[in-house]
Structure 1
Amino acid sequence: MPGSAPGPGQQTGGDVGTVRVLGPIDLVVTEPTVAVIGANGSGKSTLVRLLNGLVTPSAGTVTVHGLDAAEDTSAVRARTGFVFTDPLVQLVMPTAGEDLELSLRRTHRRRGDRRAAAVALLEEHGLGGLAHRSIYDLSGGQRQRLALASVLATDPVLLVADEPTTLLDLEWTLQVQELLLSLPGTGRCAQLVYTTHDLDFAAQAERCLVVAGGRIAHDAPGPAAVDWYRRDVQSRRSGPGVRP
C-alpha cells in the first residue's frame, strides 16, 4: 500500500512508503469448511482475497486447486465464487432476475432458458416473485441471498465469503449461515472459506484460523480456535493500562 501509514498491528513493508498487511504465511488449507477470525485490520479480508486474485502477493505464491492465483487469475476465478460483505458491491444489474441471468450466460445460451433458470433459482433461494424487483428495493437479507444465488449460479468449486452476515438481521443471518455451511459436497462446491466476527458461526467450521497482525496466530478446529481467541482477547483486555 504505497503512501500509507501502518495501522494498528501492521508493520512497514520492505520498501519505503509501503505497509505489510499480511505475512509471512505458509499455509495449506484442505478442509471443506474453514473460518477466518480476528480483529478489524488484522488481515482477514486480505487473506481470503488472495484466493481469487482480488489481491496479489508482493512475494511468494498463492495456489488454488493447483492454479497460481496471480498467473492464472481467469482460471482461478472461473472456479472460485466470492461473496462480499455488502451485496451491492457485486449486484450489477437493475433487477434481481437480470442479475441472475448474467451469471447464467455461460451455462444457458438461449435467453428464454436463462430467464426460466433465473426464476427457478429465485424460488429456490426464497426470492420467488422478485425477478422484476429493483435490487435497491430489496431488503438487506434479500440482497445478500440474491448475491449468493448469483455466485452459486456459476457453480464454483471454492466459495469464499468475506463477512457475509455482518449487515443482516438474525433471521437472514441464520438462513445465510445454514446455506453456506451446507454447500461443500453439493454440486461442484468442495470448499467454503469465510471470514466472520460471529464466533458461533466460526465455531461451526471444521478448521478456524485466527489472524493477528497479518499472521496466523492460532490454527485449530472451529470450537478450539474460538475458545483460544476468546481467552486471548480477555487476557489482553485485563492487561496493564486497559480500562474494564
Structure 2
Amino acid sequence: MSDISPLLRLDVVDLRIDGRDVLRGITCVSDARRIAVLGRNGSGKTTLARVMAGLKAPTGGTVHIAGVDVARDRRGALGAVGILFQNPDHQIIFPTVGEELSFGLSQMGMTKVAVTDRVEQVLAQFGKSAWHDAAIYQLSQGQRQLVCLMAILAMAPKVIILDEPFAGLDIPTMMHLSRVLESTDAALVHITHDPRIVAHYDHVLWIEGGAVQMQGAAAEVAPAFEAAMTELGKRDDLSDIAG
C-alpha cells in the first residue's frame, strides 16, 4: 500500500451547532487539481469550506489536506491550505498591505528577514511593490481581494479554497483574479451555487442539507444539480426552495 496521502481526505465529517446537524457524514477522497463544492444557499457548503480550512473543528470525523489534520495542526494547516472568502473585509486584519502579507508567514515560524524577503518577492511578482505601505482601506474591493490572494499565495499552500470570491467584482477584476488562480500550482476547491462555473472541474461534491447528495465528474454532477434546481424553481411555494 502507498504511504502517500491523498491531497484531500474528508472522513465522515459531522458538525453540530446549537443542537443542529449542519454537516452530516461527509466523505470525499480526491487528488484532483480542480474540485468544486456545489450547493444552494443554506446547504452547508460555506461551513464545509471553513471546516476544510481548519477554521472550525468538526464534531465528528477528520479533515486531512496534503496529509495534515487541519483541525489539530494549525501551523501545518497554514502551509497546506488557504481560503479566499467572498468578502475580503472578513479576512483582512491589518491596516497595511505589507503587514497583511507578513502575518501568515510569521505564524508559520519564518524569521523576520525571511518574511520581509518573501513579502517583497510576492509584491514584485504581481507588480505591486508600491503597495507595501499602502493603507488597505483606500483600496477597491477588487484590490483588497487581490491582497488576500497574495497573502495566501505567499504561504504557498497545497490547496486554496475559494468561497465564491468573485461575487460583487466587476468583469475585468474577476478575469484578472481568475488568471492568477489558474496559473498557481495549488489545487483549487471552489465553493459555488453556479454549476456553470465548475463545468470543467475534475471532481464535484454536491452538498444538500449538510450531506453529500452526489459526487463525481463535473460532466455528471453539474447537470444533475442544475436539473434539480430547475425543478425546484418551478414550484410556487418559496418555503420549499429556501435553502
Q: Does 1:122 align with 2:123?
A: yes
Matches within 5 A, 1:15-164: 18-105=19-106, 106-107=109-110, 109-110=112-113, 114-115=115-116, 117-164=118-165
Structure with more of its chain in strand, by fraction: 2
The answer as to whether partners of 1:203 and 1:225 remain within 8 angstroms in 2 is: no
Query: Are the structure 2 counterparts of residues 86 and 40 from structure 1 closer, same or farther at C-alpha, using a change threshold of 3 Å?
Result: same
- The RMSD of aligned alpha carbons is 2.6
Structure 1 unmatched runs, 5+:
1-12
The answer as to whether partners of 1:52 and 1:73 remain within 8 angstroms in 2 is: no
The answer as to whether partners of 1:125 and 1:145 remain within 8 angstroms in 2 is: no
Query: Are the structure 2 counterparts of residues 63 and 100 from structure 1 closer, same or farther at C-alpha, using a change threshold of 3 Å?
Result: closer
TM norm structure 2 = 0.80
Deviates more, 1:154-163 or 1:196-205: 196-205
For residues 57 and 70 of structure 2, the distance between their equivalents in structure 1, rounded to whole angstroms, comes to 8
Question: How far does residue 125 in structure 1 lie from its aligned partner after superposition?
Answer: 2.7
TM norm structure 1 = 0.79
For residues 102 and 70 of structure 1, the distance between their equivalents in structure 2, rounded to whole angstroms, comes to 20
Query: Are the structure 2 counterparts of residues 196 and 14 from structure 1 closer, same or farther at C-alpha, using a change threshold of 3 Å?
Result: closer
The answer for the alignment partner of 2:188 in structure 1 is: 192
Could you tell me the percent identity over the aligned residues?
29
The answer as to whether partners of 1:32 and 1:192 remain within 8 angstroms in 2 is: yes
Question: How far does residue 241 in structure 1 lie from its aligned partner after superposition?
Answer: 4.4
The answer as to whether partners of 1:62 and 1:68 remain within 8 angstroms in 2 is: yes
Deviates more, 1:27-36 or 1:74-83: 74-83
